[in-house]
Structure 1
Amino acid sequence: MRNETLKISGQRFNMLVAGEAGKPMMLFLHGFPEYSGAFEELMPHLAQDFLCVAPDQRGFGASWKPQDIKDYVLPALLSDATAVISHYSPDAPAVVVGHDWGSAVAYGLAFRNPDLVSHLIIANGVHPGPFQRAMAAGGAQSVASQYIADLRREGKEHDLVANDHAAIFDIFNKHMDMGWMTPARRAAYRAAWGNVEGVRAMLNWYRASPLKLADPGSPIPPEELPDLPTDALRVRMPHLLIWGMNDTALLPESYEGLQEYCDTLTIEEVADADHWILHQRPADVADRIHRFLAQH
């Protein structure tokens, strides 16, 4: 694996790359609070067959970190991802893999730039339609998502950098298996997060999102929710959802009804993994991806 620098709209973005140029591209989009290193264990299992590219998305890792919330609206995030695909695979669509917040960008590509996406693969990430329903219902997912309101709070970045980023590591833990978090990886995450400005940039993903979160037990009326028309949120390419069932941040109800939005959907539920399935089960995830692509 190697790191490469790509200029997008004049700004510097870091890429983690594995595999040979000329092979089909696989784009990996990480979430919060990670960076391209989210895929360090997974990519070697796929690099023999694909050119694997994992950018540090804007606001993360060694990439550009604008401080304004407006720089993290979905069209801006999509422009970065489309530039990466256009650079590494100018003549063919990519297989797109998203996790956590990276799934928002992956789904956005599928909705708005379907010509750039041959297959959509999501690991413990959510489609905005079912997820908004679940977050607005006031039930279990609303309870599990209350951390979002806290992360959107102005000044929260100061809390998260205190005591060597202790509170961000608490977000990782959240009653999930952290056996993969070695001292070396812990140091790499701290380096990627950096100072207050770096953490503010990451939190701006939450602040820029139009999705609404209900208080527990107090559903949000449908007329107060963002307009999310099914036709505009359709996944027309083959779609695989891999789900670690022990996830405590994103519950299975967050993808209930996903089939309503998809032409071809495969869901694989993994009993002995959680939100950090990419770190816990990289070989297993790679096998599932290979089988899915062979069938579609």
Structure 2
Amino acid sequence: MPHIRYRSVDVAGLRIAYREAGSPGAPKLLLLHGFPSAGHMFRDLIPRLADRFHLVAPDLPGFGRSEMPARDRFTYSFDNLASVIDQFTEVIGFDRFAIYVFDYGAPTGFRLAVSHPDRITAIISQNGNAYEEGLSEGWNPIRAYWQDPSQANRDALRDFLKPETTIWQYTHGVPDPTSVSPDGYSLDNFYLARPGADEIQLDLFGDYASNVALYPVFQDYFRTHRPRFLAVWGRNDPFFLPPGAEAFKRDIPDAQVTFFDTGHFALETHAAEIAAAIRTFLG
């Protein structure tokens, strides 16, 4: 088994926690998690890749073991999340690297790629969207909040923060729900239950509109720079639909798209298959 290290580092005055494995001299792969998880979502993937790659999985600010500053000290926006992770890569010496993006990690990682196209060697997107057709009707309550940021529309989104909703996100679309370990969603619910975490997550729901507004910018980056691209997608995702995965090929004709019979958190059931696809893709 590879030796996995659990570290933290100061980035712009914030403590950012991360897990790391592999040789520092190996090709670098940055793993960016999504809502409502943290770097622990990669716990089954990292051991399968650490013999070939130098892997780092940070917890975004406000998530996991990273610092969760108060909202009057830190504005929870995707621009700010990306800025912190951009600085994080510089602090740990990631100068050229591939990125694995999932859910919230996608708009975070795509911002890095737009800002530093020369640093990105490849992109792996696991249910990480950049196209309007990839958004399901499950986004309708959040869209309503974008259009009218009233307190009533904000409060309506609290259902997304309930423990049973987290479990549903992990198990929906999985042919055998008993194959999903409770470890991931239990830890996510622990972090979501911290005082103040709910308001932070509601802020990010509201700011997700900024990601959709940037879709044309992300797509222009794809067309202009044609990064090596692999999409590994849970086809039964209730939030990010298969057409969103197929759409990458419109802007990157050589993009590889692979679907798995699972849901949103595809690594919970298909870590071995996704690891094998990455090993073949990155060669």
Of 64, 70, 76 in structure 2, the residue corresponding to residue 72 of structure 1 is 76
How far has the Cα of 1:112 moved from its partner?
2.0
The equivalent residue for 1:22 is 25
Distance 1:251 1:111, change over 3 A: same
- Residues 1:37 and 2:21 are matched in the alignment: no
Residues 190-269 of structure 1: matches in 2 within 5 Å? 190-210=189-209, 228-229=216-217, 230-232=219-221, 234=223, 235-262=225-252, 264-269=254-259
How far has the Cα of 1:73 moved from its partner?
2.9
The equivalent residue for 2:85 is 81
Distance 1:155 1:12, change over 3 A: farther
CA distance in 2: counterparts of 1:155 and 1:23, whole angstroms: 46
With 274-283 and 62-71 compared, the bigger mean Cα shift is at 62-71
Distance 1:147 1:155, change over 3 A: closer
Unaligned runs of 5+ in 2: 147-152
The equivalent residue for 1:218 is none
Q: Residue 82 of structure 2 aligns to which amino acid in structure 1? A: L
CA distance in 2: counterparts of 1:256 and 1:67, whole angstroms: 39
CA RMSD, Structure 1 to Structure 2 (Å): 2.9
**Number of aligned positions between the proteins:** 270
SS in 2 for 1:210: helix
Unaligned runs of 5+ in 1: 136-140, 214-224
CA distance in 2: counterparts of 1:158 and 1:245, whole angstroms: 26
The equivalent residue for 2:154 is 154
CA distance in 1: counterparts of 2:203 and 2:180, whole angstroms: 25
How far has the Cα of 1:74 moved from its partner?
3.2
Distance 1:4 1:250, change over 3 A: same
Q: Residue 123 of structure 1 aligns to which amino acid in structure 2? A: Q
Distance 1:33 1:151, change over 3 A: farther
Distance 1:197 1:134, change over 3 A: same
CA distance in 2: counterparts of 1:117 and 1:25, whole angstroms: 10
- Write out per-residue CA displacement over residues 45-89 of structure 1, whole angstroms, 9 at most, x where no aligned residue: 011111211111112111122454982333312222222322333
The equivalent residue for 1:168 is 166
How far has the Cα of 1:191 moved from its partner?
2.7
Q: Residue 42 of structure 1 aligns to which amino acid in structure 2? A: L
Distance 1:237 1:160, change over 3 A: closer
CA distance in 2: counterparts of 1:27 and 1:173, whole angstroms: 26
CA distance in 2: counterparts of 1:226 and 1:161, whole angstroms: 25
SS in 1 for 2:30: strand
TM-score calculated relative to the size of structure 2: 0.82
SS in 1 for 2:278: helix
Q: Residue 154 of structure 1 aligns to which amino acid in structure 2? A: R
CA distance in 2: counterparts of 1:206 and 1:233, whole angstroms: 25
The equivalent residue for 1:53 is 56
CA distance in 1: counterparts of 2:215 and 2:161, whole angstroms: 35
TM-score calculated relative to the size of structure 1: 0.79
Q: Residue 228 of structure 1 aligns to which amino acid in structure 2? A: P
CA distance in 1: counterparts of 2:134 and 2:186, whole angstroms: 35
How far has the Cα of 1:227 moved from its partner?
8.0
Distance 1:188 1:71, change over 3 A: same
Residues 277-296 of structure 1: matches in 2 within 5 Å? 277-294=266-283
Distance 1:100 1:212, change over 3 A: closer
CA distance in 2: counterparts of 1:85 and 1:279, whole angstroms: 26
CA distance in 2: counterparts of 1:212 and 1:56, whole angstroms: 19
Distance 1:67 1:207, change over 3 A: farther
Is the CA contact (8 Å cut-off) linking 1:85 and 1:116 kept in structure 2? no
SS in 1 for 2:154: coil
How far has the Cα of 1:258 moved from its partner?
2.2
- Residues 1:144 and 2:138 are matched in the alignment: yes
